[in-house]
Structure 1
Amino acid sequence: MLDKNALQQLSQLKTQIVESKDQGDGEVRGSQRRFGFVRLDDGRDVFLAPDDMQRVFPGDRVRINVLTDDKGKFKAELEKLLDSPLDCFTGRYVVRGQGHFIEPDLPRFNKLLFIPPSQRKKCNEGDFLYCQVAQHPFKDGKSQVKVLENIGSPDNPGIEGKYTQRKFKLPKDWPKDSSIGDDLYAANRSDLRDIPFVTIDSAETRDIDDALWAQANDSGWTLYIAVADPGAFIAPGSPLDRAALQRANTVYLPGFTQTMLPNPVSQGSCSLLASEDRTAIVCRVQVGKDGAISDIQFSEAMIQSRAKLSYHDVNADLHGDMDLGQTCLKDLYAASLALRQYRSEHHIVMPEQADFHFQLNEQRRIENITKIERNDAHRLVEECMLAANRSAALWLADSPALYVSHAGLREDRYNNVRAVIAKEMPNLADCQFENLSGYKALIQACEHSDSALPLRSIFARMLQPGELSVEARPHFGLGLECYTTFTSPLRKYSDLLVQRCIRAKLNNTTPTLPNEAELAALQDAIRNGRQASKQMEQWLQYQYLARNTTDTVYEARIAHVNGGGFTVELLDTGISGFVEARTIPEKLSFDADTLRLFNDKQSFQLEQLVRVKTSELDDFQRKLMFLLVA
């Protein structure tokens, strides 16, 4: 038996050995192959061999010993599992020989997880499942799952919507008491029902947020934007309010809409339906002949829309192909042209993008995709909404409020931007694009540059995302000192919050704004909904494309470029896929400044038109690879 001194010496020796090791904590990251990496907290990426990768999940927090191989490269040796956030997930049931597994629908997760016999129930190969991790593989490389729900067979009509709802945990149920009562602010309302407002939306829209009216005067136009007022019936913190906060946004899935508010509210009692008395928050502004906005006023009002108009019909009316009998359309159009001209001269006008309409069949899959180009009616409504939202941000500037900010270019791309300016726009060498005025000068110069490069598109790929803020910060994307949105309160919870800020200022009260954690949770919920919509659209799009032969050739536009290849968008359908650089003869070099792949014989640049055909397509994994056609 060792004496006390010997034990102490062994303990000290063990401590010295541990301290002499290069150890670190970090997060496991998967790859497209069987190996992975550990991103250490100190910023290092350490290689994780396939055998060790079998013992962990992407996203796990682990402690590793950092070893160095014969070539001087870092290699991880797993020491301890610190945390494994993976719990419940969706996936596809697969059979490999005698083994039954689930193929998890998770990013960069390329391993199958074992389903024990007791959990297989009545599942069939190909079924979509909702599972929970029952055994982590860290100890012996073997994992097991528990089947919580068989979502259904891939042949079930509408299975894509049901699966997407489960995968992204979109709320399905409303609280027991989700009805609304009387107008809480009826005593404050002015009566504006004599103003002949009209609404302009898609023909199928039922949740109508806004109504418009304008009239010419000696100085330009008086413009009214009336916005639905669900906050008049939904008290902060009520069961319905909490449900709306949890949903954050209305999520538009093809063939299925996950609404922020119950349909009887968003499409009924609060929707600005024609010929119905409705509560509204009304923004009144004077639009000058030069498009400048002045005399901003807000009020709580009662209004009545005279007509529900569609974009198609309004555009026809504006160009003399139809007479809708609404005299305000001429003045609305004139005011919108002035507003747009002012924005193009003093702020930033975002490039237009076409929309794509999906026609679904009885299986709730895409039968046809129609490209919808924006017309003057779309632009009319857009300018009026921007005017109302810009006005709200200015009007609220001296009061507590919620804003939408955009910080411009990413700091890690500043050197790339400077390199492009030095070569393509030397007259802007001293441009301080880090601030709003400098960024506006940069973007406006792009519009008049004679460079052969698509400068505006290049800089657009280097932008930060927008975010919500309780401070009035610049919105670089629109070229504005401050910006907010309140014009979609039936569909966006943040707009409902801004409406409450407007009401608080009107009534000299203090609104309750979200704290930092609540704001982060709201933005996460918004991103989750957007991702759900995008992934389901891709799933259906890829199913639609799979009906064609692999020899079908498509006209496409290069939408993004990186060192591994480029993403293309098909012109007729908007479907996106990837062309790997290694599939193109002769090695290509990547220019990170101009986002260009090139060699001595060819070059691939943003906005360039190319012809492609499919080489690999998996609609469930949303994987679409193209080959370039000469």
Structure 2
Amino acid sequence: MARPRPPRRPHAAPRSGSRPPQGLPDRETLLAFIRESGEADRSDIARAFGLRGSDRIALRDMLRDLQDSGELGRRGRKGVALPGDLPPVGVVEVVERDADGELMVRLVKGEDTPLVRLAPDRSEAASGAPGLGDRLLVRFEGLESGETEARLIKRLGAAVHRVLGVVRKSARQVRVEPVDRRSRDQVLIEGLAPPDLRDGDLVVARLVPGGRRFGLHRGEILERVGREDDPRAASLIAIHAHGIPTGFPEAAETEAEAAQEADLKGREDLRDLPLVTIDPPDARDHDDAVFAEPDGDASNPGGWIVWVAIADVAAYVRPGSALDRTAREKGNSVYFPDRVEPMLPERLSAGLCSLRAGENRACLAVRMVFDASGRKTGHRFVRGLMRSAAKLSYEQAQAAIEGRTDEVTGPLLDRVLKPLYAAYAVMLDARRRRSPLAIESPERRILMDSEGRIASIRTRTVLPAHQLIEEMMIQANVCAAQTLEARKTPLIYRVHDTPSLEKVHALADFLGTLGLPWSKGEAPRTERFNRLLEETRESPSAAIINEVVLRSQMQAIYDTDNIGHFGLNLDRYAHFTSPIRRYADLIVHRGLIRALGLGDDGLTDRDIAQLKGTAEMITAAERRAMAAERDAIDRYVAAFLADRVGATFTGRISGVTRFGLFIRLDETGADGLIPISRLGGEFFVHDETAHALVGERSGAHWPLGLPVEVRLVEATPVTGGLLFDMLSDPVKGAPPPPRGRGPKRPGAVDARRRGGPPPGVRKGKRR
């Protein structure tokens, strides 16, 4: 990881003894002023140099030039600083976990600043750490190694003042126990609690300002949201804990209820095309349908025509309407094992915008032409009226292709399903040549019973039917981006950045410990990652290599600036295929309607003016939804395992940190912690390069990806926490060299003379 500049002193104007001369400064003087200030905005600079009128305009142009040349970085809307500079104290966001499971933060107002490791609180276990998406106030501290570490001062946002928790009543007091396993601070309810408040109620409590300096936080109960013993409590907790918007304003519901079925006016009649929807068996909405047939054009022998029809949500959700405002705020639908919090009211999401079999539905469709090698040779968009021929599940479609038809798929086999799979076969050839990332990331599928309890947890099996739909949707999304670019219509791209040099270097260092070559100077390419994964697929290290490659990737986001999609290995990509559940897709639909003259309900000038802000909002909403869905699943899994405390499980080490090991179970995919205190009575050194904990005395190794057997010690459904004991033996190895306290020995490194660990190695905690 690149080393950020050490933190500067707190922001302030230069001291009077070094006051700058009055008048428009030259570039060197301006940079020196900003370097001394640490951070400044245009008003600060103009005031310091006494600038007025045209000089202020010239200053603005000078600052813009310095930013364009990379000599200055932006801080928020108006601030500037030297690129990569960190203040002594700043607001950060937790943006990712590194390969060892430790949290990385980035300055909220500094896009050019590097990722910085968040130092764990040594007085707490792993449950004390913040989570992804949290905003924190931190102090940046330079280490002797030259790196910078962020130390938590306090968490920011509503969560600091509101606590979601479970009521614990006693004869003398009422307390609220937080459901967030990262917090151990209970809240003592002051004054009279609601008379019907019961032990085990899920409540939202507000911290009372000006409480006592010592002892429990004081608070008051704002609302009750459910019961701890409700089988569906996990999703309720996730919704409230992450601030997921719920329900719809009356105006939005009224607009949805007033919506009418579409007719053929202004639309192409596609009802004769036997389009089918293929979705999970428990899908709550159906916004895409597909059909394929051989291309009858003699100039394209062996070619295929593929139709992808998408629900025309733009026909019902007009710009500036109550439905539009609500959908933009929500950003996306949020899916839990037992419920969905939809982006649109049910009248639309499960009704008029859902492509139900046998019912007329408005759609925006793309007709794509592929040659015999799978190369797309052309496409066109139409606004149409369609009627789905059937609703199929992935398993149903795959079974039919394998010879196991039923009453629905039997009549469709030759006319619909076989052509779809034949078209996919040529598209697959092109996909293989494109070589998108082939990282394996198993997905858990939670099956619920009629009472809302977990019946089983399985790893989702990926079928060719899944891959068929995925590839056809990808190609439709590419067509949308290409069309809007060609028509010079602004759009929101789905972008995925190339892995950073820091991550690539860390990957190369790790692979070096396994004897696998990787040139640090080689530009990251998807085919290079895929070759590594393929060459090691049958090796004992396959799981850990897959995990480290996955963690070396950046997160995809929405943006109005196109940098391509690294994971899919595409130059341009936009989300078009799910407007029922993603606002980004609705914006792309409106862009196509405007660009192609398909109606008066396309992208407006106001939409375009706020496109950048919209991209940021829906990216944040996506992160919020992912965190809520993940937390709910963790709680459901903990509830599922609660009656199996004491049982043994097989799994793998999925995270290695200074405070312990994270274990992922093979059976359920559940993640839990083994604190370092339960690994043995010796000091452990955290070897960052090898992603392992190493016993200082025995040399025992606990590396990332190691298959292990563990015993479940504790399962806490309300927090989703799992605690394990290790039953397996570590990998044997030589202990690290002794770290003497005497004078520096010949050849010893400075870190050892200081009594610290060797470079790249940090010492764990012994309890």
Normalised by the length of structure 1, the TM-score is: 0.81
SS in 1 for 2:395: helix
**Number of the residue aligned with 2:497:** 407
Residues 180-199 of structure 1: per-residue CA shift (max 9 Å, x gap): 53579964322222211111
Aligned equivalents of 1:490 and 1:339: distance in 2? Answer: 26
Task: Give 1:173's match in structure 2, choosing from 247, 251, 264.
Answer: 247
1:601-616 map, 5 Å: 603-616=701-714
Cα distance in 1 between the residues matched to 2:633 and 2:656: 22
Residue matched to 1:105: 179
Which residue pairs with 2:73 in the alignment?
Answer: none
The 8 Å contact of residues 331 and 617 in structure 2, kept in 1 or not, is answered as no
Whole-Å separation in 1 of the counterparts to 2:155 and 2:577:
48
| Aligned amino acid, residue 673 of structure 2 | F
Deviation (angstroms), 1:116:
1.2
My pick for the range that moved more, 163-172 or 178-187, is 178-187
Are the structure 2 counterparts of residues 181 and 27 from structure 1 closer, same or farther at C-alpha, using a change threshold of 3 Å?
Answer: closer
Assess, with a 3 A threshold, how the Cα gap between structure 1 residues 29 and 97 changes in structure 2: closer, same or farther: farther
Q: Displacement of 1:537 after TM fit?
A: 1.5
2:401 is aligned with 1:346: no
Matched to 1:117, the amino acid is G
The AA in structure 1 aligned to 2:675 is E
Structure-2 residue corresponding to 1:570: 665
Q: 1:432 is matched with which residue? A: 523
Residues 110 and 230 (structure 1), Cα distance of their counterparts in 2 relative to 1, 3 Å cut? same
1:541–1:575 CA contact under 8 A, matched in 2: yes
Deviation at 1:612, TM superposition (A): 1.8
Q: Distance in 1 between matches of 2:507 and 2:701?
A: 20
Which structure 2 residues correspond to residues 458-607 of structure 1 after superposition, within 5 A? 458-507=548-597, 511=604, 512-513=607-608, 514-550=610-646, 552-585=647-680, 589-598=685-694, 603-607=701-705
Q: Classify 1:442/1:143 alpha carbon distance in 2 versus 1 (closer, same or farther; 3 Å).
A: closer
Report the CA distance between 1:148 and its aligned residue.
0.8
- Residues in 2 aligned to 1:244 and 1:24: alpha-carbon distance in whole angstroms: 39
Change (3 A) 1:59 1:238: closer
Distance in 1, matches of 2:665 and 2:260, equals 50
Checking the alignment, whether the CA contact within 8 Å between 2:654 and 2:661 is kept in structure 1 is: yes
* Pair 1:569–1:432, CA change in 2 (3 A): same
Mean alpha-carbon deviation: is it higher for 265-274 or for 365-374?
A: 365-374
**In the alignment, which residue of structure 2 is the partner of 1:255?**
338
Residue from 439, 457, 479 that aligns with 1:369: 457
| Maintained 8 Å contact 1:59/1:85 | no
Contact 1:356 1:369 in 2 (8 A): yes
Q: Quick one: structure 1 residues 430 and 44, their matched pair in 2 at CA, closer, same or farther if it must change by over 3 Å?
A: closer
Among 310, 320, 323, which residue is 2:393 paired with? 310
The one-letter amino acid paired with 2:271 is: R
Q: Which residue of 2 aligns with 1:324?
A: 410
Distance 2:535 2:306 in 1: 32
- 1:9 alignment partner in structure 2: none
- In structure 2, the residue corresponding to 1:341 is in which secondary structure? helix
Q: Distance in 2 between matches of 1:342 and 1:355?
A: 26
Q: For residue 719 of structure 2, what is the amino acid of its counterpart?
A: Q
CA contact (8 A) 2:333 2:340 kept: yes
Structure 1 distance, partners of 2:277, 2:155, is 58
Q: Does the CA contact (< 8 Å) of 2:654 and 2:664 recur in 1?
A: yes
Q: 1:338 to 1:595 in 2, by over 3 A?
A: farther
Partners in 1 of 2:118 and 2:378 — Cα distance?
56
CA contact (8 A) 1:63 1:82 kept: no
Residues 260-286 of structure 1 show CA distances to partners (whole Å, capped at 9, x for unaligned) of 111121111111111111111111112
The alpha-carbon deviation at position 539 of structure 1 amounts to: 1.0
Rounded to whole Å, the distance in 1 between the matches of 2:399 and 2:436 is: 28
Q: 2:528 aligns with which of 441, 446, 449?
A: 441
**1:410 Cα deviation (Å)?**
3.9
**Which residue in the other structure is 1:293 paired with?**
376
Structure 2 CA distance for partners of 1:457 and 1:108, relative to 1, 3 Å: closer
Question: How far does residue 210 in structure 1 lie from its aligned partner after superposition?
Answer: 0.7
Name the amino acid aligned to 2:721: K
Deviations 1:22-53 (A, max 9, x none): x96567999xxxxxxxx999999999999xxx
CA distance in 2, matches of 1:341, 1:181: 43
TM-score between the two structures when normalised by the length of structure 2: 0.68
Deviations 1:316-360 (A, max 9, x none): 111122252222211211222332332222231433444443333
Structure 1 residues 178 and 134, CA gap change in structure 2 (3 angstroms): farther
The answer as to 2:395 corresponding to 1:395 is no
Query: Which ranges in structure 1 are unaligned for 5 or more consecutive residues?
Result: 1-22, 31-38, 51-56, 67-73
Note the alpha carbon deviations across 1:228-254, whole angstroms, 9 max, x for none: 111111101101111122222111122
Higher strand share: 1
Question: For the structure 1 residues 243 and 337, does the alpha-carbon distance in structure 2 shift closer, same or farther, using more than 3 Å as the test?
Answer: same
1:153 is displaced (CA, Å) by 3.0
Q: Check conservation: 1:389, 1:483, Cα contact below 8 A.
A: yes
Q: Distance in 1 between matches of 2:674 and 2:399?
A: 40
Where 1:321 maps in the other structure, the secondary structure is coil
Structure 2: runs of 5+ lacking an equivalent: 1-86, 95-105, 124-129, 142-148, 296-300, 729-767
CA distance in 2, matches of 1:105, 1:259: 24
| Superposition pairs of residues 452-463 of structure 1, within 5 angstroms | 453-454=541-542, 455-463=545-553
SS at match of 1:368: strand
Answer whether contact 1:247 1:525 (CA < 8 A) is retained: yes
User: Paired residue for 1:273?
Assistant: 356
1:425 Cα deviation from its structure 2 partner = 4.8
SS at match of 2:572: coil
* 1:118 is the counterpart of 2:213: no
- Tell whether the 8 Å contact from 1:132 to 1:146 is kept in structure 2 after alignment: yes
Moved more, 182-191 or 286-295: 182-191
Task: Give the conservation status (yes or no) of the 8 Å contact 1:369–1:573.
Answer: yes
User: What one-letter code is carried by the residue in structure 1 that aligns with 2:328?
Assistant: L
Could you tell me which of 235, 254, 268 is aligned with 1:190?
268
Deviation digits for residues 51-71 of structure 1, max 9, x if unmatched?
xxxxxx99786999x9xxxxx
How far apart in 1 are the matches of 2:685 and 2:122? 29
Partner in structure 2 of residue 199 of structure 1: 277
Aligned match of 2:507 = 417
- Comparing 39-48 with 383-392, greater Cα deviation is found at 39-48
Change (3 A) 1:340 1:60: closer
**Structure 1 residue 541 displacement after superposition:** 0.9
Find the aligned partners of 2:417 and 2:700 in 1 and give their Cα distance. 50
Given the superposition, is the C-alpha separation of residues 610 and 128 from structure 1 closer, same or farther in structure 2, using an over 3 Å criterion?
same
Is the 1:296–1:395 contact (alpha carbons within 8 Å) kept by the matching residues of 2?
no
Q: Which stretch has the larger CA shift, 442-451 or 152-161?
A: 442-451
Q: Is the 8 A contact 2:508 2:517 kept in 1?
A: no
Amino acid at match of 2:534: E
The CA deviation at 1:421 is 6.0
Once residues 588 and 164 of structure 2 are traced to their aligned partners in structure 1, the CA distance between those partners, rounded to angstroms, is 36
- How has the CA–CA distance of structure 1 residues 187 and 477 changed in structure 2, closer, same or farther, with 3 Å as cutoff? same
C-alpha deviation, 1:628, in angstroms: 2.3
Cα distance change of structure 1 residues 214 and 578 upon mapping to structure 2, 3 Å threshold = same
Kept in 2, the 8 Å contact 1:199–1:309? The answer is yes
| Alpha-carbon distance in 2 for matches of 1:81, 1:305 | 50
Mark the CA change 1:587 to 1:343 in structure 2 (over 3 Å): closer, same or farther: farther
Where does residue 227 of structure 1 map in the other structure? 310
In 1, the alpha carbon distance for the partners of 2:611 and 2:93 equals 31
8 Å contact from structure 1 (residues 402, 484) kept in 2: yes
